[in-house]
Each structure stands twice: as C-alpha cells, then as structure tokens.
Amino acid sequence: MHPKIVELSKQNQKKQIPNVQVGDTVKVTVRIKEGTKERSQNYEGTVIKIKGTGISKTFTVRKVFQGVGVERVFLLNSPKIEKVEVLRSGKVRRAKLYYLRERTGKSTKLKERMLSSQSTSEMPKEEVPEEGKLVEVK
C-alpha cells in the first residue's frame, strides 16, 4: 500500500481501538439513526472472527436470538461504535470459531480464560523519570 494511503487512513482511525479478541463475550454499543433522532443500542455475543488490517479491520459477533443464530460484523474503527465492553474472555485454540455455528446449547460455551494472565497486561506501567530530574521515591 502506498505510504500516503497509510497516512490518510491513520488519520481516519480511532485513537483508542477496543481490545477485542476471538472468544471474548462482548457488549457492543452502536449508534443508530432513526430519521433525525439518534439512539444507542446494545448487542451482546461472542466474537468468532477478526479480519482485516488497518482501517478496514472488522470483528464478527455471534449470538443466538430466539433460537436463530445471528452474526453481525462491526468495523473496529467505525465512529458508529460507541463502546465495546469485554464481559468475559474465553479460552480458544482457533483464530476463527466457525465450529460454534454447528453447535447449540451448552456446547457453545467457551471455557473462561485465566484472569491472572490478563491482570499482568493491565498492570500500570512504571513511570520512567526523565534524565536529570529529581523524583520522589515511593
């Protein structure tokens, strides 16, 4: 891809992209326009696929609604997506969870990922003082 396109699409991208991973149970808040009014709607389900790179990166959320499987594709960088909340992260061994489509009931449940591995990534970073500056030691 041409570097000018990369630069252009970076301007269009969100500063903070929600950290979504395959197997996560997420709640996506989407803005919906009805005539002149705007409201937000929640959509909850399991992430079964993450596809694409850069500005065209998408994720697919699957849920079973009234006995019918529903899959919705969201653009990660879309301004229509207000918020993505990760409710639970599942332990998966595949990049695409298409096997969930053939399963119903209890077998669609994913084992929860150990929280200890997550908590390390959420640890606040240590502040590195600038050179020549005096910093109080905690």
Partner 1 sequence: MTKPLRMRPIVLAKKLGMTQYFNQDGDAIPVTVMELAENIVTEIKNDLKHGYASVQLGANIKKEKHLNKPKLGNLKKKNLPNLGYLKEFRIKPEESEKYKVGEPLDPSSILVPQEYVDISGISIGKGFQGMVKLYQKKRGPKSHGSKSYRQPGSIGAHTYPGRVLPGKKMPSRMGNERVTARNLRVVEFDKEKNILLVRGAVPGVEGTLVEIKPSIKKWNP
Binding site for partner 1 (CB under 8 A): 1-2, 4-5, 8-9, 12, 31, 33, 55-56, 75, 77-80
Closer residue to partner 1 (CB): 14 or 94: 14
Q: How far is the CB of 71 from partner 1 (least distance, A)?
A: 18
**CA 68, CA 36: separation in Å to the nearest integer?**
31
Is residue 20 a contact partner of residue 50, using CB atoms and an 8 Å limit? yes
Q: How far is the CB of 45 from partner 1 (least distance, A)?
A: 21
Q: How many residues does the chain have?
A: 138
Closer residue to partner 1 (CB): 49 or 113: 49
Instruction: Please count the CA atoms within 13 angstroms of the CA of 128 that sit on its side-chain side.
Output: 2
**CA 71, CA 74: separation in Å to the nearest integer?**
10
Q: How far is the CB of 26 from partner 1 (least distance, A)?
A: 19
Closer residue to partner 1 (CB): 12 or 118: 12
Closer residue to partner 1 (CB): 21 or 77: 77
List the structure tokens of 23: 């197997």
